[in-house]
Amino acid sequence: MQGQDARGARLSIRSRSTGLTAADVDAALTDRRSLVISWLNRGTLHLVSAEDYWWLHALTTPQLVTGNARRLGQEGVSPVQADLGVAVVVDAVAEGPQTRSRLRERLDRAGVPTRRQALAHVLIAATLRGHVVRGPVRDGDHAFVAVRDWLGEPPAALDQNEALTRLARRYLAGHAPADARDLARWAGISLGAARLGLEILAGRGEPEEPVPRTIGLPPPRLLGAFDPVLVGWVSREQIVGRHQQIVTSNGLFHPFALVDGRAVATWGLADGTVSIRALERISPAAQQALQADALGVLHFLGLPERPAVIVP
């Protein structure tokens, strides 16, 4: 799941599960440690199972190092300062979970730039080098922790071909029909690597498109910000159609309503009330289903149930 928006990540789990609440997700992140958030695919924060972190990190992060170094330089962080910053972060998390603000204070004292996006890219550097992940939720913020202190010793490393095959299989389970270009775009791996993973699947007798996306469309559903359904393929045209404003030019992915596999509305939650703003005509049956799903959103988030407001 995309992990850069806390509520959006939890809502992504809601729409793909039954019987869970946001509190269950927080418990998995904080108490059970069965979920973890880290910079993985495409250098974007992702929420993954703890057991998958190890092979995903090894497969999807090496290609991010050059871009991270470039961004550090653009933010005024020299290579020496970057190395110092990573060392400061490593020392800090050795003492226990550290919030972003506490890490900023330590880096400031050490003379490592933290203005603008410098702090984020120092933290990304520490993450790409395998030192930290986001751990317990503290006052709504994911504190950073030492990887092995939090997750334990890593399992035996996967052969790269096996990791590519596992990635391709998992991807197709949620995104088929899709091709190598889609997989490469989604995972942030090379086109050649994506092709190899799919070819190995096919060689094992596993179909490249096991679940046609046109069969078994979900019922009308309210999806959160940065929902993975919008970043799974090279093109999102089939889902957003003419409603391109759902994804802004500066990379924000708005919460939206999905009906018959297409985006038909955006929605928000303010003062405990779900407000659905239609982008096209929505049938009465679909409106009723979305209003019911809005109650599900409130229940999932632990909020009192209130009728949703639909704005034509």
Q: What is the pTM of this model?
A: 0.89
Contact yes or no for 129/114 (Cβ under 8 A): no
Task: Pull the structure tokens for residue 178.
Answer: 């899709």
Please report how the helices 100-110 and 79-93 are oriented relative to each other, as an axis angle in degrees rounded to 10. 130
Residue 28 contacts residue 35 (beta carbons within 8 Å): yes
pLDDT of residue 205: 64
**Mean pLDDT per 10-residue section of the chain, whose length is 312 residues:** 92 94 94 95 94 96 96 97 98 96 96 96 97 86 93 94 95 90 95 95 64 67 94 91 89 94 96 96 96 97 95 87
The answer to whether 303 and 272 have CB atoms below 8 angstroms apart is yes
Residue 258 near residue 12, CB atoms below 8 Å: no
* Cα torsion through 231, 232, 237, 239, rounded to 10: -90
Q: How far apart are CA 112 and CA 30, in angstroms?
A: 29
